Amino acid sequence: MDSPPAAQPARKIALVTGAARRIGAAIARRLHAEGFDLALHYRHSQADMQALQAELEALRPGSTLALQADLAAFDRLPELVARTVGHFGRLDLLVNNASSFYPTPIGQATPAQWDDLFASNARAPFFLAQAAAPHLKATRGAIVNLVDIHGDQPLAGHTLYGMAKAALRMLTKGLALDLAPEVRVNAIAPGAILWPDGGKSAQAQAALLARVPLGRTGDPGDIAAAVAWLASADAGYVTGQVLRVDGGRAIGG
């Protein structure tokens, strides 16, 4: 009598915030290629999300779930985790990528801007991690936070943004301590990967790249590769760390 076919191992599941475009979409594509099925969060970029989901579904049907939410709405945070686990049955990786970024010059900054920048860059990652923690412990999973080199090196005119990213750096370390040994928690600090949506003058671009030892911008794929590594068994003894992917900018002054 033939033996029954061996059960296939459950596919790993990742929840990625801000996944519709730019770095978030690159992370989604890389994790999908690595074999993850994905819960993909977006806020406003519906057309971009539909295109990304169609692309990934063509490669592996049934491998994605699109989730729309404003991360400033507290009750949507545990809901994102619950819908992910309800759909896929497990959670192995949380990638806190979504971020608001804009200047808040001293003398002009408002409480609303404070709330908005901290909501996406610090508050949502904390409460998403809190909701995800029991599921990640069950799978011995991981969290990867996208911080910024300006979380410890201030950027003129962006004090509130830098403060929020600094909070996310500390959250990374705190979660690494509190969720150990079952869950590893790390962060990535990108340098010049993509210019802001509003653009940057050629002069400003040249001045910035002059401080980058590698002399060029990075690629979203560089960040996606770092996320994939931190989520993998190859990084199994790495937690509480901030990995700079900045072309050496931090040492370039």
Contact (Cβ atoms closer than 8 angstroms) between residue 157 and residue 214: no
The one catalytic residue in 42, 102, 161, 237 is 161
Residue 103's region, left for phi above 0, alpha for psi from -120 to 50, else beta, is: beta
Catalytic residue flag (residue 161): yes
How many H-runs (helices) and E-runs (strands) does the chain carry? 9, 7
Tell me, what amino acid is at 10? Answer: A
Give the whole-angstrom CA distance, residue 6 versus residue 190. 42
The tokens 């990535």 sit on which residue?
188
User: 183: helix, coil or strand?
Assistant: coil
Token digits for 75? 């009750």
Contact (Cβ atoms closer than 8 angstroms) between residue 77 and residue 133: no
Reported residue count of the chain is: 253
Distances in whole angstroms, Cα of residue 87 to Cα of each of 66, 215, 231: 11, 44, 21
Distances in whole angstroms, Cα of residue 212 to Cα of each of 51, 84, 197, 200, 247: 34, 39, 21, 16, 6
Q: Catalytic residue positions?
A: 161
